[in-house]
Structure 1
Amino acid sequence: MRYLTTNMSECINGVLKGARRLPISALVEITLERTVHYFRVRAIKGQKMLQNNQLWTDFACKMFISWQQKAVEHTITKYSHAQQSASVVTRRQNRHGMITHVVKIANRECSCGKYNQFGIPCSHAQKVCGAYNISAASMVKDYYDLMAYNNTYSKHFEPVQSEDYWDDPNFQLVHDPTIRTVTRPGRN
């Protein structure tokens, strides 16, 4: 199983691509400009997905459908109706397959780890959902819902006026001599 990480740093790196070695004022400007563009593009995309009557984001729809198609080839053995647990055996393909996974729908877990990683029921969980007459769609995590997606990108940004129109600060910045940066030995 892969590590569970957020992709926020990769996202920011993508937004700031090509912005290295710029003066700080230019870096701030380009960060704002690209962030506004990033949000605007995704807000438009979210509205289009809503107009197409999608339930979830494109990523979630693609994963759900892909795993739904794979679930047809699995075989299932039910174990506990109370826990809605079962073992699922995958079909053999290219030296892979014939692997048994344990699924516990009541606990929302599968031994393959994909449901915990992605928040979308894997093919094994979807097969077990079908066997117990449970809607696999109801198990997709809420953060893939289009309302959540659109709420994320619906915020607006205010344009920044020219520096000439900024209010003068009512204070004077004073350097604190007790705070010193640590330098490497041999450097001044």
Structure 2
Amino acid sequence: MTTNVSECFNGVLKGARSLPITAMVKYTWFKLNSYFDDRRNKSIAQLNSRQKWTKYALDIFMRNKAKAEHHRVTRLSAQQQSYQVDTPHNPGICIRYRHDAEQYIDPCYSVDALFRSYAPIFPALKDRLSWSDPEETRRVLPNPRLIRAKGRPVSTRIRNEMDEGGNRPRTTPWKEGGRKVQCGLCDQEGHNRRTCPKRNEVPTSGGVAD
């Protein structure tokens, strides 16, 4: 089971797989920039509409408020040996005692905090002609042993530390790093019954070998 952050990165950067390094960096930069622009514009629209809390926090607050209207509070006093069941809560009890229920919402869920989170603007990438020349120039030759094989590359999920099995032995031969195939005749690993070198020596029909 992977963490939410790992699943998020796997989903967002799925389109950047099997790309050259320059194209991968460019894709990631524009993807993150568009993500910030979209959230920034939404927070500005919420500020202009005089909205104090984000939709996520407001939905949870209203759902809990509707649920609290049907709560029954049980009070038990060990000192006075009293036991009492109150009537259902009145929705206006906070107004009666001049309590603002929104004061218990964490400020991080406010629209102002949302805007400040996505307020930073990414500087635009300069044109390649305006790049400064490096002090040291070297010609880097590609490694011929790392040339990609023919055919379409196989795309798999990005592995992380959550996928490491540690010292726990794997019991399936179909996963990476799993147990080798075990022969059903000689109980040796590395081959099966069809390729067993002792196939002709071990009887398979219940008879006795010579």
Range into which the TM-score falls when normalised by the shorter chain: 0.5 to 0.7
- Among candidates 19, 27, 38, match of residue 16 of structure 2: 19
1:129, distance to aligned residue in structure 2 (A): 6.6
Structure 2's unaligned 5+ residue stretches are: 78-84, 139-210
The 1:8–1:49 alpha-carbon spacing in structure 2 relative to 1, beyond 3 Å, is farther
Deviation at 1:167, TM superposition (A): 0.5
Larger radius of gyration: 2
Pairwise mapping of residues 97-136 of structure 1 onto structure 2 (< 5 A)?
Answer: 134-136=99-101
Q: Report the AA paired with residue 163 of structure 1.
A: R
Identity within the alignment, %:
36
**Structure 1 residue 127: Cα displacement:** 10
Determine if contact 1:15/1:35 at 8 Å carries over to the other structure: no
Instruction: Establish whether residue 55 from structure 1 lines up as the match of residue 52 from structure 2.
Output: yes
Given the alignment of the two structures, is residue 145 of structure 1 paired with residue 142 of structure 2, yes or no?
no
Cα distance in 2 for partners of 1:21, 1:145 equals 40
Equivalent residue letter for 2:38 = V
- Aligned match of 1:113: none
Per-residue CA distance 1:22-59 (angstroms, 9 max, x = gap): 11111100001011100000001001111222221110
- Is the CA contact (8 Å cut-off) linking 1:76 and 1:128 kept in structure 2? no
Following superposition, the deviation at residue 163 of structure 1 comes to 2.1
Task: Please tell me whether the aligned partners of residues 39 and 118 of structure 2 are also in contact (alpha carbons under 8 angstroms).
Answer: yes
Aligned: 1:65 with 2:91: no
Distance across 2 between alignment mates of 1:42 and 1:159: 18
Aligned partner of 2:119 among 154, 166, 180:
154
State yes or no: 1:170 paired with 2:167. no
Q: Distance in 1 between matches of 2:20 and 2:92?
A: 56
The letter for the 1-side match of 2:99 is I
Deviation at 1:10, TM superposition (A): 4.0
Amino acid at match of 1:58: K
Using the size of structure 2 for normalisation, the TM-score is 0.51
What TM-score, normalized by structure 1, do the two folds share?
Answer: 0.56
Aligned length: 128
* Structure 1 residue 130: Cα displacement: 7.7
Aligned partner of 1:30 in structure 2 is: 27
Partners of 2:105 and 2:16 in 1: how far apart? 37
How far 1:21 moved relative to its partner?
Answer: 1.3
Give the strand-richer structure, 1 or 2. Answer: 1
